[in-house]
Amino acid sequence: MSAWRRLRGALRTGGFLSRTPGTRRHTDRFGPLVLGRTLCTGGPLRKDFFKDLEAQLAAARKKASDALPGSNWSPFQISSNIPPETSDIVIVGGGVVGWSIAYWLKQMTKFSKGVRVLVVERDPTYSQASTVLSAGGIRQQFSLLENINLSLASADFLRHVNHFLGLVNEDPVDLQFNQSGYLFLASEKVAHIMEENHKTQRLAGASVSLLSPTQVKEKFPWINTEGVALGSYGLENEGWFDPWTLLNAFRRKAVSMGATQCFGEVTDFHYTSDVFHTEDGEAVNLRRIKSVKVQMANSLERQPVECAIVVNAAGAFSAKLAEILGVGLDPKESTFGVPVPVEPRKRYVYVVHCPDGPGLDTPFLIDYSGVYFRREGLGGNYITGVSPEEADEPDASNLEVDHQFFEDKVWPKLANRVPAFEKLKVTSAWAGFYDYNTFDQNGIIGLHPLVKNMFFATGFSGHGLQHSPAVGRAVAELILKGHFTTLDLSSFGFERILRREQMLERNIV
Amino acid sequence: MCVSPYVLQTVPLAKCHLSSFIHDLNKHCLYHNTKNYYKKKSLSFRFVISDFPVNQICILDAVCVVSLVIFFRSVQPLLRCCQRSALLLVARRQSSSSSASPFTLLSRYVGHSDWYRPNRWGKFSWDFLEHKDTSIEEVDMSYTLINYRGMTNLWTQHHLRTLKLRGCPEVDDWFLAGLHNFQDTLEELDISHCPLITTGGLAALRNLTALKRLNVSSLPKVSSPELVFILLEEMLPKCQITADNCDYSLMQQGVGDTGGQR
């Protein structure tokens, strides 16, 4: 087989000398000035016709001998990127949450026997992944204590990101973190909620300050404070960064510690079911996943991966994955009938250019009407968007951008809040999915009660990226130790969905 | 090569005895490390005493923080707190009755303002312990390895006015965000020659409302220093910003008068 490749390579480039191993070794070691040859500073690409010819004849001879019976050449090649046949833990979804879990799993088993971790990602280009399309902000201004603690822990992680994710021979991780805060503006109606949230945030240890409208105007003279009753401003550990860098940092570090990556789609599960009967006589179906079938991209190859634990970190598509197991398909069943309440919701992000806009101290401003914007770079560019009302949710089957949405829903509110934005130009836009938890807009972390070995880490509804380091650690603790150790996220379990107890987050953007 | 843990000792209020303080310091092996440490770096302190007679001195209620660190050469990336750094500077005594802000005393006093530093044999005098109740006013930690976690010890100093962090290799953007604890009092900040500071970190300086002098010369990771200089001037209008590596001719041609002294 290698004969074919070498021949193809030779025909393509023509310059053959650089490709044969013998001469390459020479030049690598001694540079253009090679001992034992004539003093030639022209580089290794000398075209020597007879040497080329010899090599080509040798390749042709090898090709002929391969074609004869008795050789081990076969036209069917197994692609080199299929996943292994067994793996202890399979993480479905290669976004920032999935890779964070993989990293923490390897990190926490560094000095013990170690677990085999496989991360399966459907799209190698990450074209629809929520991670890379995110605005990349991190804030502590939540209403739930668990969310605040998750953000604080993640900020601590990002502060020391090179300590955690740095590799010895590689460049340090540069997240391009902008240390500006978030500024939430509240109207009269919701000001009391903001005050309560502020108390919770201060109790948890977040550095957030409340500002009156005059103080807001003083700090940020370019804001129009009409209708604003209260402002909440983050002083520290808030800002925005590059999500792709974080994803790659997690991936690079996890792979260096032994996690395996595979680009394929999980199409099927092989599971066993045990039927138990409850006291009321109801039949309960307990399932255990035995193996995961991974379908390679653009190919008919499938590889069943035997695994002990599956982690569903598929983001916006987690519900579809769980449906393969039967979760949510049978409405008559009381427990299995409850689907994973995560669905993809499309959100638009518009890049605008405004030369007279606010400067370096622009916070990530979020208005009570839902519109938000933040500075992007130093050239007067800003990123803006709004979360649409429930009734106006755009169609989530594709990632096409609706520019009319900007004109109708974003610009008026934006220009009302920041008068300088009356004159702006939209330079670019993109759309991304929120893995929107329709139940209560908070993450689902934990085991499914009836699938014995499937963990969920999904449904973060727009704050998955900022919680990913802490969530990864929590899920790794859950898997390896059976319970949460550093942060108690048991209230984010799947049980709350079955019991219909909402853990509402009131500060969702 | 021994890897000793760092030592951070916070001296509580006036109630602690000098002897117990020294005893604690002994326990943390101060002496045999001081020699190594002070040879390498000269510390400087600024100590301001107001010239009041003894019977008018009041008891202060500020905290003096002393941080001693022990140099270790470990390559392993432990979460280092504050290696090889420490200097602090002690501040001032407030006058007993005046309701005027303590800072105006500086202009009135005629007392000595000495910096506490080790002498040329590396010997550090213990006189600063007499003033362990006073709050620190100026800190010069240039060329030390101070980082965010070490800085957290200084957050109790509510009268800190000057912070010099020239050439500190571990001062990064997160460190600058942590300076929000001094937002009302910090007047002078020198972060020149710090290799890890980027534009994102300079955005964190917006919280320092009292800042009067800022030195941002030679920050290698800031990509366009002239543009950042202009943006900083817009962000901090009351502050005089120094940036020695900027090409001022560019600015003067394009921008007209951007104010400030250069």
C-beta separation of A97 from A457 below 8 A:
yes
Q: Which CATH architecture has domain A79-178+237-341+438-508?
A: 3-Layer(bba) Sandwich (3.50)
pLDDT value of position B205:
92
Interchain contact, A180 vs B206, CB within 8 Å: yes
Determine which of B207, B211, B214, B224 to mutate to test the interface with A (most A C-beta atoms within 10 Å): B207
Those residues with Cβ within 8 angstroms of residue A17's Cβ, 6 or more apart along the chain or in another chain: A23, A44, A45, A46, A47, A48, A51
Q: Quick one: which of A217, A241, A230 has its CA closest to A165?
A: A241
pLDDT value of position A74:
78
Interchain contact, B228 vs A359, CB within 8 Å: no
**Residue among A180, A207, A378 whose CB faces B227 most closely:** A378
Say if domain B106-242 classifies as CATH 3.40.1210.10. no
| HSE-CB of A289 using CA atoms within 13 angstroms | 34
* Cα A409 → chain centroid: 28
Q: Quick one: which of A132, A131, A135, A197 has its CA closest to A364?
A: A135
Six token digits for residue A66? 């391969």
Confidence class of residue B89 from pLDDT cuts 50, 70 and 90?
very low
pLDDT digits (tens, 9 = 90+) for B34-75: 444 444 443 333 333 222 233 333 322 223 333 333 332 333
How confident is chain A (509 residues) per 10-residue block, as mean pLDDT?
Answer: 51 46 47 55 67 92 89 77 92 96 96 92 93 93 94 95 93 93 93 93 94 94 93 94 96 95 94 88 87 89 94 93 84 74 93 91 91 92 88 86 91 93 93 91 91 93 94 96 94 90 77
Residues on B contacting A at a C-beta cutoff of 8 Å: 77, 79, 148, 173-174, 176-178, 180, 183, 198-204, 206-207, 224, 227-228, 231-232, 234-235
**Residue among A159, A236, A378 whose CB faces B180 most closely:** A236
Q: How far apart are CA B26 and CA B3, in angstroms?
A: 18
Q: Strands, DSSP E only, in A50-180?
A: 86-92, 117-121, 137-138
Interchain contact, A178 vs B178, CB within 8 Å: no
Chain B residues within an 8 Å CB radius of A162: 77
pLDDT value of position A38:
62
Q: Would you say residue B212 has pLDDT above 90?
A: yes
Chain A residues within an 8 Å CB radius of B198: 176
CATH 3.50.50.60: which residues of chain A? 79-178+237-341+438-508
Residues on A contacting B at a C-beta cutoff of 8 Å: 159-160, 162-163, 166, 176-180, 207, 235-237, 239, 359-361, 378
What's the whole-number average pLDDT of chain B?
62
Chain A residues within an 8 Å CB radius of B176: 179
Those residues with Cβ within 8 angstroms of residue A99's Cβ, 6 or more apart along the chain or in another chain: A119, A247, A250, A251, A254, A472
Confidence class of residue B116 from pLDDT cuts 50, 70 and 90?
low
Confidence class of residue B123 from pLDDT cuts 50, 70 and 90?
confident
Residue matched to tokens 């990336």: B77
pLDDT value of position B248:
60
Interchain contact, B174 vs A235, CB within 8 Å: no
pLDDT value of position A333:
65
Q: Per 3-state DSSP, what percentage of chain A is helix, strand, and coil (rounded to 5)?
A: 35, 25, 45
CA distance B52 to chain A (A): 39
Those residues with Cβ within 8 angstroms of residue A376's Cβ, 6 or more apart along the chain or in another chain: A351, A382, A383
Q: How far apart are CA A16 and CA A331, in angstroms?
A: 66
pLDDT value of position A148:
95
* Cα B20 → chain centroid: 27
Those residues with Cβ within 8 angstroms of residue A54's Cβ, 6 or more apart along the chain or in another chain: none
pLDDT value of position A41:
64
Closest chain B residue to A380 measured between Cα atoms? B231
Chain A residues within an 8 Å CB radius of B258: none
Q: Quick one: which of A336, A421, A420 has its CA closest to A384?
A: A421
pLDDT digits (tens, 9 = 90+) for B94-115: 332 233 222 221 222 222 356 6
Range B25-32 average pLDDT: 42
CA distance A181 to chain B (A): 8
* Cα A159 → chain centroid: 19
Range B213-225 average pLDDT: 91
Say if domain A179-236+347-433 classifies as CATH 3.30.70.20. no
ipTM, 2 decimals? Answer: 0.80
Q: Quick one: which of B225, B232, B261, B231 has its CA closest to B246?
A: B225
Those residues with Cβ within 8 angstroms of residue A140's Cβ, 6 or more apart along the chain or in another chain: A148, A151, A152, A155, A201, A204, A206, A207, A208, A234, A237, A238
pLDDT value of position B12:
34
Range B75-83 average pLDDT: 33
pLDDT digits (tens, 9 = 90+) for A349-380: 999 999 988 988 899 999 999 899 999 989 89
Question: What residue segments make up the domains of chain B, in order of their start?
Answer: 106-242
CATH 3.30.9.10: which residues of chain A? 179-236+347-433
Confidence class of residue B259 from pLDDT cuts 50, 70 and 90?
very low
SS3 B128: helix
